[in-house]
Structure 1
Amino acid sequence: MPKRSDQRRRRNKTEITKGAAGMSADVPQADEQWHPIARRIWDALTRSGQSVYYEASDWAFAYSLMDDLSAYKANSKRSAQMLQTIYSAFERLLITEGDRRRARLELERDNSDHEEASAQIAIMERYRKAAAD
C-alpha cells in the first residue's frame, strides 16, 4: 500500500486525465431486504468522503454489490471464491483507506486546530531533516 503523501519522500508528478462529470448523482434508497451487514456498509458508504466523487453508475454498481453481498450472507453454503469476488469489487468503490491510497485519493477530516499544529510540526520536521542531510 502506498504511503500517504505527507509520508513520501519523492513526490513524482502524476498524470491525471480529467473528464466532465455527469449530472448530480442521486443516492438510491437501501433495500429493506438486504442483510444487516450489507445495509451497514451501504449506510457507511453514503456518509463516506469518497462518495462525493461517485457518479450514478457508481451508485448503481454499489447497489448491485450490496444485493450480491446480501445473497451471499443469506446462503447457508458459502463459497470462498464468491466472497473474494465481492471483496474485489469493493476495491473499485475505494471503500478502504488502502484502496484509496492506491488510487492516490486521501481524505482528511476537518480538524482545523489540530491540523494546523500538525502541519506546522511537519514543516519544521522537514526543515530539520533537510538541514541534517
Structure 2
Amino acid sequence: MGARGPVGKRSNQRHGHRTKAEQEAVTKVPVAGAPLDAEEPDESWHPIAQRWFRSLGASGQRVFYEASDWATARYIAEAMSRNLEAGRFSAQLFAAVMSGMSSLLTTEGDRRRMRIELERSVQADADEEAAVVALDEYQRRLSG
C-alpha cells in the first residue's frame, strides 16, 4: 500500500487527460461464476490458511490462475499454516508468505499495480446499496 492507501486510483476515478495507451493499459475482468480448477485446502492446515486458500477460488483474479498458480497458492498456504502453528512466529517466513500472496494478486493494491480491476455486477452493487439504506433506516429508528 502507498502512504495514503492502495497505489493509484481506479480508472473510473481518474480525472483529466489520459493518453490512449494509459486508457488501454487497464485490463478489466468481469467477475462471474466459479473457476473449474479451484481446489480445496488441505484439512491439516491452520484455519486461517484454509480460509485464505478458499478465498482464492471465490476471488475475481482466479480467472488468471493456471495450474502452476494453484500449486504456488498451495505452497504459500502450507508455509502460512506452519508459521501460524509454530511455537515461535517467524517474521522472515511471514514476509515470504506476503510476497507470494502479492504475486497471486490477492489484494486490491497488487491488482492496481498490475493494472487489473475487478468489476462487480450492477445487481451486486444495487443489493449492497439497498442493504446500506436499510441499515441507515434501522439506525435512524433506534436513535429516534
Identity in percent: 44
Q: C-alpha offsets along residues 69-104 of structure 1, whole Å, 9 cap, x if unaligned?
A: 001111011121211111111100111111111110
Q: Which has the higher contact order (CA 8 A, sep 6+)?
A: 2
Residue type at the aligned position of 1:7: Q
SS at match of 1:106: strand
RMSD: 2.2
Q: Which amino acid aligns with 1:95?
A: T
Pair 1:11 & 2:31 matched: no
| Kept after mapping to 1: 8 A contact 2:39/2:57 | no
Kindly report which structure 2 residues correspond to 1:51-90, keeping only aligned pairs within 5 A, or say none: 51-90=62-101
Deviation at 1:112, TM superposition (A): 4.7
Alignment match, 2:38: 27
Aligned partners of 2:41 and 2:53 also within 8 Å: yes
Residue 131 of structure 1 is matched in structure 2 by none
1:19-71 Cα shifts (integer Å, max 9, x gaps): xxxxx972333101010000011111111011011011101100111011001
**Which structure features the higher share of strand residues?**
2
| Contact residue 2 and residue 101 of structure 1 kept, 8 A | yes
Q: Report if aligned partners of 1:25, 1:56 keep a CA contact under 8 Å in 2.
A: no
TM-score (norm 2): 0.67
Structure 2: 5+ residue runs without aligned partners? 1-6, 26-34, 127-144
Moved more, 104-113 or 62-71: 104-113
Is residue 96 of structure 1 aligned with residue 102 of structure 2? no
Q: TM-score, normalised by structure 1?
A: 0.72
Equivalent residue pairs, number: 108
Structure 1, gaps ≥5 residues long: 17-23, 116-133
